Amino acid sequence: MNYDYLTRVVLFFVVLFLTISIQAQTAVLDTINPINLDEIVINASKNNLKIKELPAAVSVIHNTVIEHESVVKMSDLTSLSPNFYMPDYGSKLTSPIYIRGIGSRINAPSVGLYVDHVPYFEKSAFQFDFFDIEKVEILRGPQGTLYGRNTMGGIINILTLSPDKYQGTKFKSSIGNYGQYGFNAGYYKRINQQWSTSVSGNFVHNDGFFTNEFSDSTVDKTDSYGLRHRLKFKPSKRFDIENIAAFENSTQGGYPYAVYDTATKTTSPVNYDRYSSYDRTLFSDALHLNYSTDHWKLSNTASFQLLNDEQNIDQDFSPENLYYITQFQDQKTVSNELLVQSVNSGRYSWLLGVFGFNQAFDNKVNVNLYTHDMEYLKTFDKSIRGAAVFHQSTLKVTDKFSVVAGIRYDYEQSELHYLYEGAMAGVTLPPQDTIYPHLKEGVLLPKIALNYQRDHMSVYASYSSGYKPGGFNTTFERPEHLTFNNELSNSYELGLKATIFKDKLSTEFSIFYNYLKNQQIYNTVPSGHGSYLSNAGKS
């Protein structure tokens, strides 16, 4: 008897029964309410502007669309948002995002990501399971004035369901081919007028899609689970404080890479002798508070993120035992943002913010070159610290015409402690232990925009700037490849937004020009065993 087949059949009916049962109890959560497109508020604007008031290209993907389109991870947004692309390089470790063609495969990203007020500074945290999502906001174009570093392409702001807005129980399950199944559930409770809380969880499994000819087993099996908890306290109308904690653990087989023959335009089977994988633990916590008066509002967000992972990869991707790498990462990021802004509906509004962060990296790379009977271990202890102050003003010249101007100053410094240990043919090589001098940089990021609104239409023109910081390459073979400089961008944009057919259809049109200076370019090291960044003029 085929017990595996029987198990899947039983599981399918269990999932179907549970879905119908729970859905009947929580229909209130799944009701699709009509949305006035002109009234959509963009939280990523930091002053909660309505979509037509924001002089920038923006996409908003609500939970109803996320559920209907079966968006289960970040890369699924590629088909839902214009100028957005997230390729799959075989594991969650390499998860770059490109907006308007601007992105980066290695080192720091070119697109910013915030999830429930927590900044995700590293691409290795970008690909995570979607559950409990309220909405996704994607702002296209540089967002340097409000967000600073690594937002040259744009910013993605993700908000999860709040027990302030949703109460009850929510359950979802799925099953598919290739051994795919998943569950997620959430409980949302407003305890009283002051306290509300929620807890939610998620589990995803698939057997993999690609078979390794060498081992006759799938190479990309995945198991992942996550938890999220929110607790909010609102003792008065003027003050509230909320803690949001999230955890995810994932285990992946990885890298279904194969040889492509350009002459015959055929792809060979996946065929390599060593098991490859990527395991990651991700934890984040944000403490967010708001205090408001009749004239101004203060908010502060303190956040912490931990990323711990292990990568094993057969780098030659062949049946021969040539080249194998094991890499460990331990990243800790602490950040805080204090924001004060006006809360009146007069002709002039403003916001002023201060931001600071500290990142600590502990990376180890163990390389085995079997053809040379050589093994070496590279240890990188790197730290990055930064601070910023920013301001933005909005002046309504008339009821229909407004001017937005802002400026930000970012300063950061980084340092690297590098240790190289190795052995060849059984002989220990002399270690190289080096502490490199600090790298320091400061950058000024201006912005100006004009916005004209009339009925259900708005026209805007804007200039904005952004940058990616310079830093240390963690793979280098020549002294000149150790560091790279920052990359700067200037963007000019003209756009139109309109709602038609009695607010049932929204349309957006934009023309933009990006100018990049000191562009950071991906290169392969001379030996072919790794990659590094260098600067290459402008584009």
pLDDT digits (tens, 9 = 90+) for 467-513: 999 999 878 888 888 899 999 999 999 999 998 887 778 888 999 99
Whether residue 227 lies inside any domain: the answer is yes
Domain residue limits at 306: 32-160+208-535
Whether residue 19 lies inside any domain: the answer is no
Output phi, psi for 486, to 5 deg.
-70, 160
What's the confidence (pLDDT) of residue 29?
A: 40
389: number of CA atoms within 13 Å, CB side? Answer: 0
What's the confidence (pLDDT) of residue 19?
A: 43
Whether residue 184 lies inside any domain: the answer is no
Whether residue 356 lies inside any domain: the answer is yes
What's the confidence (pLDDT) of residue 40?
A: 76
What's the confidence (pLDDT) of residue 97?
A: 95
Burial of 286 (0-12, 13-18, 19+ CB in 10 A): buried
What's the confidence (pLDDT) of residue 39?
A: 64
Biggest distance spanned by C-alpha atoms of the chain: 78
Q: What is the CATH number of the domain that holds 463?
A: 2.40.170.20
Domain count, the chain: 1
pLDDT digits (tens, 9 = 90+) for 436-450: 888 999 999 999 999
Cα distance between residue 217 and residue 211, in whole Å = 5
Residues of the chain with pLDDT > 70, as a percent, come to: 93
3-state secondary structure 444-498: EEEEEEEEEEECCEEEEEEEEEEEECCEECCCCCCHHHCEECCEEEEEEEEEEEE
Strand, coil or helix: what is 409?
Answer: strand
What's the confidence (pLDDT) of residue 353?
A: 98
Cα distance between residue 364 and residue 530, in whole Å = 14
Whether residue 121 lies inside any domain: the answer is yes
pLDDT digits (tens, 9 = 90+) for 179-235: 999 999 999 999 999 999 999 999 999 999 999 999 999 999 999 999 999 999 999
Whether residue 504 lies inside any domain: the answer is yes
Whether residue 190 lies inside any domain: the answer is no
Whether residue 265 lies inside any domain: the answer is yes
Q: Show the low-confidence residues of the chain (pLDDT under 70).
A: 1-39
Cα distance between residue 317 and residue 258, in whole Å = 7
What's the confidence (pLDDT) of residue 456?
A: 84
Distance from CA of residue 225 to its chain's centroid? 18
